[in-house]
Amino acid sequence: MCLGFVQARANTSIPADICEMRSEDFLAKSFQEENLTRVHNNPGAFKTGLCWWHSRMQRHALYLAIFDQPTSRKPNRGEAYKLLERIAKGTEVVSVPGFKNWQEFTGANEGVLLSFLSRWELEDTAMFQFARGLVAENGTSTQTYQQIFQQVNEYKRITYAIVKFPRRGVAHSWLINSFQPNAGKIQNKEIVNQGFKMTMIDSNAPLLPWEYDSKMNRYKIAFETITWDYANGNKEILGHDIDEFDFPDKERMVYPSGETLTLYVQHDTLDFLKYTYAIRKHCGRETPFTKFEKSVQGKTLGTNLKNLIGINF
């Protein structure tokens, strides 16, 4: 997999009307820079990062934010905050006035977005909501890979996953939008031995999907190079570049060095039930997306009901 793959997906033609979009179209949206968040992850109230909430907001926006009135008056700070609140609930399609796309909107409202994500962090942490549906018994295993492969390739969903570095207790979140075993399929321990390639949206550099090859243990990323003072939440954008580096990278310290990357799947049932309801209500009918999601939800109903109530250890 190379950056040409990301570019090819970014050039995919997508219907302008959300009511005509298929599940594949929402996946394709996640490869287009205009649909990605202009604001990077930030330390947040606890100085531990807002990646969980940044990723959740990003996926909600990909499925539910529309920009069908770009010539209207731009929202002020208070109005922008209320728009973010509505998107974060995930229960309705939200029309954002005055902007052509999500990147424009978030770039113009960086402070508002970070303020909202920080409040969301405080609320969810108090209720332990960020861990809902987390499957923690397997970690990176053939079963975990099978779940990711199924979510992305069979169910055609932008999939939420958690990355953990066990020794330091550091966790991070990704949105995975492509996943392919090097062997072309998953069978027994084949994927563990032969590796896989995937792309993901990372809140630490959210402008384009990262590309990761587990066999080569290498990343490719189109990103803005930044310096970040965690203590004060300050950052400086140094430039926009395409880069490639080993994982972990001790010089960059993008992630903790000397650690094993461990992936955990977070069940997406509740979010996709919300998306199905919101889009059906907005369109006043079933759409290609809602029809397909209904078939997926019918296949997975038993497992999903168990995981909707909380953590499955």
Task: Please report, as a single letter, which amino acid is at residue 145.
Answer: Y
Mean pLDDT for the stretch of residues 140-158: 83
Could you tell me if residue 70 is inside a domain? no
Number of domains present in the structure of the chain: 1
Mean pLDDT for the stretch of residues 247-264: 47
Using pLDDT thresholds of 50, 70 and 90, give the confidence band for residue 104.
very high
Of 150, 137, 142, 139, nearest to 188 by C-alpha is 142
CA-to-CA distance for 17 and 19, rounded, in angstroms?
5
Could you tell me if residue 115 is inside a domain? no
CA-to-CA distance for 151 and 147, rounded, in angstroms?
6
Could you tell me if residue 37 is inside a domain? yes
Q: Quick check: 194 pLDDT over 60?
A: yes
CA-to-CA distance for 112 and 228, rounded, in angstroms?
19
CA-to-CA distance for 157 and 5, rounded, in angstroms?
18
**Cis previous bond, 97, omega within 30:** no
Residue 143 sits in which domain range?
1-43+131-313
Could you tell me if residue 101 is inside a domain? no
Q: Quick check: 33 pLDDT over 70?
A: yes
Could you tell me if residue 16 is inside a domain? yes
Q: Quick check: 7 pLDDT over 70?
A: no
Could you tell me if residue 58 is inside a domain? no
What are 56-86's pLDDT values in tens digits? 999 999 999 999 999 999 999 999 999 999 9
Could you tell me if residue 49 is inside a domain? no
